[in-house]
Structure 1
Amino acid sequence: MTLPLPHQRVWLDPVPELDELRKDGPLHEYDSEPGMDGRKQWLVTGYDEVRQILADHHRFSSARPVDDEADRARLPGILQAYDPPEHTRLRRTVSPAYSARRMERLRPRIEEIVEDGLDDFESVGSPADFVRHAAWPIPAFIACEFLGVPRDDQAELSRMIRETRESKIPRQRVASGLGVVNYTERLAASKRRDPDEGMIGALVREHGDQVTDEELAGLAEASLTMATEQVAAQLAVAVLLLVSHPAQLALLRERPELVDGAIEEVLRYGSVVEAPSPRVALADVRVAGRDIRAGEVLTCSMLAINRAPGDRFDITRRDRTHLSFGHGIHHCIGAPLVRLELRVMLPAVVRRFPSLRLAVPEEELRFKPGRPAPFAVEELPLEW
């Protein structure tokens, strides 16, 4: 099956066709995004135009484009599926969990999980698959800790989360997906009765009367799965970028104060979320000199706006501009947690494994396209 253009890559780079397209302008007629009920589609490749569309929730909806409102999939807790005022209400209840103060309070536990996870990775012996033994389990345990999952449940829940995406056995993927749903429903009910310091418990204490039981369970499931799979994808791509650019890896090892620049560069260059959920025009509107009619669909290419043709991976880059976390009311609510995990993880990796390198030729690596899950490395065999 041919992937839609925003999800096509050559290794980590945009395909030449995307580069050629954006030379012709910021907006293009487009017809390869499935599930749009035959609506006219547009691909947006201009930075200013993407910002305009993502920031304007009055004229562009992020709700799934269907003609019959009864068919609209209401996924409680999936903030991208909501427009205001429901989105405003739900996001306001969750936002305090990602405050700077709460992130710093969580940092010692994140550092402990990272060190334990890297111990496990090292114990496997060189070479080892970084994806299987570090990139997936570390953010899974951190996500469990963030939500308030009891430690006795964390290993089993982490396994189920990964199997929902990684298992090659369809029956196992379905069973694990149902297992995650059932667990988060029980977790939400438990925190409703006895709230603790985790995200769900804090939400119940501060905004419990504003959130239904279904929304609470949905928020728990969405936060858990997205905080695991998106960070797992980002960690693996970050380490791949460093080991495939040994001069940049050495620079970060010699100058750990460059970690913040390295984080923004791996977010920009990797662009693991290649396109946010498509936007539907709510009214006739003009974008980049083109007339967009109400009901037409626009796909914003993050890969196109984050990456310039021929650009290099450079952790000392001065211009750190990117939209990898989106923009506007749907700017990724988990961005502070993602950055914190990278801020802990990257220095730990380069410090603990000074001779880290790929165990296979680059051309043998395989990737998963960024739909519906984030763009990801299937396996990342490393040696040290």
Structure 2
Amino acid sequence: MATRGALSRALSHRDSRIFFGGSMVAWTGLWMQRIAVSWLAWELTGSAFWVGMVAFCDLAPAVVISPLAGAVADRVDRVKLAIWTQVAIALQAAAVAGITASGHMTIGILLALEVLSGIAGSFAQPARQTLMPGIVPRADLPAAVAANSLTFAVARFVGPAIAGPVIAAFGVVPAIAANAVGYLISGLSLLMLNVAVAERRGHAGKGGIWADVADGVRYAARHAGLGPLLLYAAITAMLLRGVQEVLPPYVERIYGLGAESLAILTACFGVGALVAGLWVAGRGKLAGTTRLAVWSGLAQAGATAGFVATGFFPLGMLSAALIGAFASVQGITVQTLIQSATDAIYRGRMLSLWGLITRACPALGALALGAAGEAFGLRMPTLAAVGLFLVAFSWGLWRLKRMQDALEAVPPDPAGRS
């Protein structure tokens, strides 16, 4: 009942229904393409390293682009920026599908196109996420952030569930083409939003764009809560999230299975994320959110160790669901704290740092796991990453009280909305 109440509030607003409906369509296509491109890379090369490199090329541009994208999102019309970036993602997906269908796809072309996707995605993330305080009142913001993550989790379940049979029956091209259609629909749906002018733009540009980037980094570093929280989330993503980015080698080498099992495991991640997201949404409050963000990392580490402990596929499915659940808890709580604790003029830049973490850090982890997997197999490098994370968790636990005091004191709503 509490979950339904919180989500009902988040979805009771016209703009939020349009926003999340478009997100569902786009992200379903996104997960179809991720499964398809990962499998395509595996078919082209048979190498865990190159599968990791494909994930790296999609996610790594965030290292350079995300801080710039956040500064841009704080200067320009965020709705227009979100529209154009989603159209760009649709065009990239259409290019991948078309070249693959023509029989001319190579691993080099695929890597180049994934870099373009990563650049567009780095701009799209802060553009879209900064709109959330403009589509719901501040009181409903925690539920809206949870609803956003739930939408992603549902898409993460539905997309692979569709992609697996489609790839098995028709190949990767239809699954990739579906992403082009989905992002085009999502981008055009944003034209229907009615976002207040104060929320469409953070501030008028005064100095140079790189000065804004530097100012945003200084803001995060000075903040007693945001800086440590983002650092902890970055370490978690780099050490633990890489497994999800290079799944095909795990499926084949640890479990001895194929594309349909890859889709099943990806769907398990999504189911876990959905269930956990529903629970977080049902809380509907800020108190205790920082503690959840820290402890969910430890739980994710335990589930990751379970994922590689054996070749027993049912245990792998359970572990994947738990990884998805605890990663979802951390993702929702970190985003909620960023949205609620950040000054409005810095929101795009702080969310772009979060985008950098969610895109670049898993890419680095995927690249490291792929390279280590060629030399040592996949099990030992994964367990070594879990062991390293325990050091980071100890630090996060030590900083918990100070982060909590800084992040859970809600600032007044600059728009005067309750």
In the superposition, the TM-score normalised over structure 1's length comes to: 0.34
> Higher helix proportion, which one?
2
> Higher strand proportion, which one?
1
Q: Which gives a bigger RCO, structure 1 or 2 (Cα 8 Å, sep 6+)?
A: 2
